[in-house]
Amino acid sequence: MGTRVAALLAAKGSEVVTIEPTATVADMVGELARRGIGALVVSADGARIDGIVSERDVVRRMATYRGDLGTEPVSDIMSTTVYTCAPDDTVDGLMATMTEHRVRHVPVVSDGVLHGIVSIGDVVKSRIDDLERDRRELEEYITAR
């Protein structure tokens, strides 16, 4: 059956940091730095997803932008195609989505409500925990004989 996304959120928490599309890139970068995170959900109303913006978006835009990127609105650099998952989705399915679409942050949505966000780091931690649990179980099985 596999680990569910809901279990990841239970372990890490469900706080989602959002930013308005009209906020500046400088505000966005400051928020990422203050919170020690790599992406923000872009939302005009704090509930509906308008996009997602990450450190990668800033770096990619800096490569072509010839002005003060910090004063530009987040809406100019955000990704408008946002891949989401549901709490009942499996971590394996989420990992496949992240790999196929080359995304590192996926909002968790159910019935149109934002429940959290999962990063590739959360997925890797979950897989390592699963492997460690499997190793312990095998070790216990072998030593119990």
CB 85 within 8 A of CB 97: yes
**Which comes out higher in pLDDT, residue 66 or 118?**
118
Supply the pLDDT for residue 145.
67
Supply the pLDDT for residue 25.
97
Residues 6 or more apart whose Cβ sits within 8 Å of residue 87: 4, 5, 6, 9, 108, 110, 115
CB 77 within 8 A of CB 109: no
Domain residue ranges of the chain, discontinuous segments joined by +: 5-143
Tokens representing 51 are 């996009």
Q: What 8-state DSSP symbol labels residue 16? A: -
Topology of domain 5-143, CATH = CBS-domain (3.10.580)
Nearest to residue 114, comparing CAs of 90, 79, 77, 85? 85
Residue-wise pLDDT for 81-109, tens only, equals 999 999 999 999 999 999 999 999 999 99
Supply the pLDDT for residue 133.
83
Q: What 8-state DSSP symbol labels residue 24? A: B
CA distance 75 to 25: 9
Model-level pTM? 0.86
| DSSP bridge partners of 42 | 19, 51
- Does the pLDDT of residue 16 top 70, yes or no? yes
